[in-house]
Amino acid sequence: MISSKSINKIKPIVLITFLLPSLIWIGMFIDGSLGVNPIDILMDKLGEMSLRLLILVLIISSLSQFTFLRPLQNLRRLIGLVTFYYIFLHLICYVFLDHFFNFSFILKDVIKRPFIFFGLLGFILLFPLVFTSTNKMVKKLTFRVWKKIHYLIYLVILLGIFHFYLLAKADKTEPLIYLGIVIFLLFLRIYKIFFTHRVVQR
């Protein structure tokens, strides 16, 4: 069985492991070795990592439903915050590097292109998850309310997948694989809630 103590010990390693790619990409961007279109490449890499980490958070949430894997919950918050960091960098690339704070153009872009709208909406919906991620907020809200708020992660991930799907020009295999994983995990969560409700009724 995995212990909470062992999970807490590896937290620094997990943090460094997930932060390292962003530092490498930023370094490559600064020294001009990221390719012909460095802004687009950096933005794409940060966005893809954001989506993968979001799905990882969802997988960890599902695995932690099993008693012997429950200590994995201690990693969920850490990875969730790292995910927000990647999404924020992805947005900064778009707002600053790509359009240099031209908010009138950005607003038109959000209205004109659905994938931009889906991405921005997903980012906004992340804030309730980030602001309620501390133990203090869980106690203040009660676990039941906190859990309902954090169901938003499904909507955030779906918006992220739609964002990626519409952005992908030719091969849409990767976003469809992500969608399949999310639907499967959502089905498991619904089944567990329904099954638990039936057991309680009996």
Q: Where are the domains of the chain?
A: 4-201
How large is the average pLDDT for residues 145-149? Answer: 90
Q: How confident is the model at residue 1 (pLDDT cuts 50, 70, 90)?
A: low
Residue 87 has pLDDT above 70, yes or no: yes
Tens of pLDDT, residues 61-78? 888 877 778 888 889 989
Confidence band, pLDDT 50/70/90 cuts, at residue 200: very low
CA 131 to chain centre: 15
* Rounded CA separation 152/186 (Å): 12
Question: Percentage of the chain with pLDDT > 70?
Answer: 96
Whether residue 9 is predicted with pLDDT greater than 80 in this model: the reply is yes
Residue 198 pLDDT level (bands cut at 50, 70, 90): low
